[in-house]
Chains A and B, each alone.
Chain A
Amino acid sequence: MPLLPDLRPDFPLLARTVRNGKPLVYLDSGATAQKPHAVLNAEAEFYQFHNGAVQRGAHLLAEEATDMYESARAQVAEFVGAEPDEIVWTENATHAINLVANGIANASVGIGGTESARFRVGPGDEIVVTQTEHHANLIPWQMLAAKTGATLRWIEVDDDGRMILDDLESVVTERCKVLAFTHASNVTGIVSRVDVLVARAKAVGALTVLDACQSVPHLPVNAKALDVDFLVMSAHKMLGPTGIGALYGRKELLDTLPPSQFGGSTVKVVTMDTTTWLDSPHRFEAGTQPIAQAIGMGAAVKYLSDLGMEAVEAHEQELATMLRQGVADLPGVRLLGPVAADAGTSDMLAIAAFVVDGVHTHDVGQVLDDRGIAVRVGHHCNQPLHRHFGIAGSTRASAHVYTQPEDIDALIAALADVRTFFGVAA
């Protein structure tokens, strides 16, 4: 499969040097991606020429700002195959998941009345997650269970971190009201069987919430084709700014899910003791929104769309194979998860989390950093999965559109020296 052209000239940060003049090898895109000029310029131009409050004000700047802000929403919507009014701006993906979980909690105590009744959960109901979730797609559901008396259950994973779907019917039952799961693991890089999970959720009438943080930046993702009810994404992993993310929700669900953050710009009629809300997305966007960041996110999805997500996917599949095989082949290094995608299933992300025998993850990261190689160390906000693997943490390398094979070569070469440095090589 073909690689993308070398895109590093589009990303000014990648030209800098680190640690006494070494070229930067940036392999921490799973944590946050670097930003192209197109995104940086979009934000700067907004502030330099168009800054104004959106959806209010009668002046030209307010009109231009509103138009740019809503155009960005339409771009993000198109990017994931949705309609603009099915996209809610959020602070990040964590906020988006909390928005759904807290909305369900509010419906469960009667907020939103009968039109929100379909979201109610309570004792006897079940919320199902998986053992491979990022904390952001676990804790909000733990809290929802605690608030409502519902029971939290989870789909377990096997020794390689694959969700065990053989007995899905016994875990996702008629009692299941919400099934929340990741599209792609931020540790193992495994892409989930969304088709199987969604089919089961539909069979039992459960809502589906898809954490697409790690998939949307790297694979073509179409919310309608996946047929999920909610999907969350995070701009800063998609080459966009921090401080902005988005929630996709099916329109009829977003129009009836109660908000959980209350304030200006969200309401139809307010009396001293009652409030009715606007339709989505505005009912969820209380207070002044991160306008420049939304415009930056729009520019980011345009940049990715111009590359073509099929081309991005092909590039990253090539890198995934190099990266995962390269790490797996190193003596004394344990790769978490399978080397390659299972036959007949989908892709792997270009992510490799691993453990170096006899060397703590922090120490591995330090040696790599000394060579100018930036990776993530620790539990990557996924303690249960690391515990399942019998470890406290791992070192994680992750690629993006600007990653080139020589970045992976640099990583593999440096890793080969780590055990020698710490005197644990056989």
Chain B
Amino acid sequence: MSALEQMYQQVIMDHAREAHGRGLVDLGLPHTGESHQVNTTCGDEVRLRVVLDGDTIKSISWEGSGCSISQASISMLTELIEGEDLEMADETFEAFKALMHAKGQGLDEQREDMLGDATAFVGVGKYPARIKCALLGWMALKDAIIQAQKGAPA
């Protein structure tokens, strides 16, 4: 597999084409938080909304535009994190960041299991300019959770 094919694995292309969670959902619930993140190098942006139910991330929805790496990454994090608790979200984010900085080498089995399909982003780590693309949605998630925890009303 070439470096390019390693970066654009089929599962990434699939998520980019048919993204999960696209379209902001308004559940009208308290503990809703939202974050708008922009990649200043290319103008890609995402607006991501989470709803917390205690320590559980009850809902993730988003709208945005960007490259296949950013869109697929947001789609996969929606699948991975929705319904999980905050601690798991945090650990998964840490694992994903570690994957991004692994220079294409992959992680240990435990963390790769945690990331599931998102392990496919391993190839992005070889291209420093693209790491921001893959992290855009995760930065939005982290910030949206903080906003939700502030108890921002729905």
Q: Are B13 and A423 in contact (CB under 8 A)?
A: yes
- A377–B2 contact, CB under 8 A? no
Give, as a whole number of angstroms, the nearest-CB distance from A394 to chain B: 10
Bound CA span A383–B17, Å: 26
A362-B67, A422-B68, A423-B13 given as contacts; is B130 within 8 A of A392 (CB)?
A: no
Closest B residue by C-beta to A387: B43
Judge whether B130 and A379 touch: CB under 8 Å. no
Taking a contact as CB atoms under 8 Å apart, the answer to whether A379 and B7 are in contact is: no
Contact of B42 among A19, A20, A392, A422 (CB under 8 A): A392
Whether the pair A363, B67 counts as a contact (CB closer than 8 A) is yes
Determine the distance from Cα of A386 to Cα of B43 in the docked complex, in whole angstroms.
10
Contacts of B42 in A (CB 8 A): 361-362, 377-379, 392-393
With a cutoff of 8 Å between Cβ atoms, the chain A residues found around residue B2 in the complex are 370
Residues of B within 8 Å of A361, CB to CB, are 42, 67
**CB within 8 Å of A: which B1-46 residues:** 2-4, 7-8, 13, 17, 41-44
Whether B43 pairs with A383 at a CB distance below 8 angstroms is: yes
Minimum CB distance partner of A377 in chain B: B42
Q: Closest CB of chain A to B137's CB: distance in Å?
A: 15
Closest A residue by C-beta to B133: A362
Q: Does any Cβ of B come within 8 Å of A334's Cβ?
A: no
A367: chain B residues at CB < 8 Å are: 4
Q: Write out the residue numbers on chain A whose beta carbons fall within 8 Å of the beta carbon of B130.
A: 362, 366
Interface size on A, residues (CB 8 A): 19
Is A200 in contact with chain B by the CB < 8 A criterion?
no
**C-alpha spacing A379/B42, complex, angstroms:** 6
Category for how many chain B residues contact A: 10 to 19
Q: Given the complex of chains A and B, what is the CA–CA distance between A422 and B12 in angstroms? A: 11
Residues of A within 8 Å of B69, CB to CB, are: 362-363
The reply to whether the CB of A118 lies closer than 8 angstroms to some CB of chain B is no
Check: B105 CB closer than 8 A to any chain A CB. Answer: no
With A360-B68, A423-B13 known to touch, is A366 a contact of B4 (CB < 8 Å)?
yes
Q: Which of A360, A370, A422, A423 contacts B66 (CB 8 A)?
A: A360
- Contact pick for B3, options A19, A379, A393, CB 8 Å: A19
Contact of A366 among B7, B17, B44 (CB under 8 A): B7
Given contacts A19-B3, A366-B7, whether A392 and B44 have CB atoms under 8 Å apart is: yes
Q: Which residue of chain B has the shortest Cβ distance to A383 in the bound complex?
A: B43
Closest-by-CB residue of B relative to A421 is: B8
B8 partner residues in chain A, CB cutoff 8 A = 363, 366, 421-422
Which residues of chain B have C-beta atoms less than 8 A from A392's C-beta?
A: 42-44, 65
Tell me the smallest distance from the CB of A116 to a CB of chain B, in Å: 37
Q: Is the CB of B67 within 8 A of A370?
A: no
CB proximity of B116 to chain A, nearest CB, Å: 23
Q: Is the CB of A378 within 8 A of B67?
A: no
Q: Which residues on A sit within 8 Å (CB–CB) of B17?
A: 423
A182 to B68, CA, bound (A): 34
B85 to chain A, nearest CB (A): 33
Residues of B within 8 A of A377 (CB): 42
A residues neighboring B (CB under 8 Å):
19-20, 360-363, 366-367, 370, 377-379, 383, 386, 392-393, 421-423
Chain B residues with CB under 8 Å of chain A are: 2-4, 7-8, 13, 17, 41-44, 65-69, 127, 130, 133
> Can you list 24 residue pairs at the A/B interface with Cβ under 8 Å?
A19-B3, A360-B44, A360-B67, A362-B44, A362-B67, A362-B69, A363-B8, A363-B69, A366-B7, A366-B8, A366-B130, A367-B4, A370-B2, A370-B3, A370-B4, A377-B42, A378-B41, A378-B43, A379-B42, A383-B43, A392-B44, A393-B42, A393-B43, A422-B68
Further pairs besides A361-B67, A423-B13: 14, Cβ < 8 Å: A360-B68, A362-B44, A362-B67, A363-B67, A366-B4, A366-B7, A366-B8, A366-B130, A370-B3, A378-B42, A379-B43, A383-B43, A392-B42, A392-B44
**Which 9 residue pairs across A and B have the least CB separation, nearest first?**
A360-B67, A392-B43, A362-B67, A370-B4, A378-B42, A363-B67, A363-B68, A393-B42, A393-B43
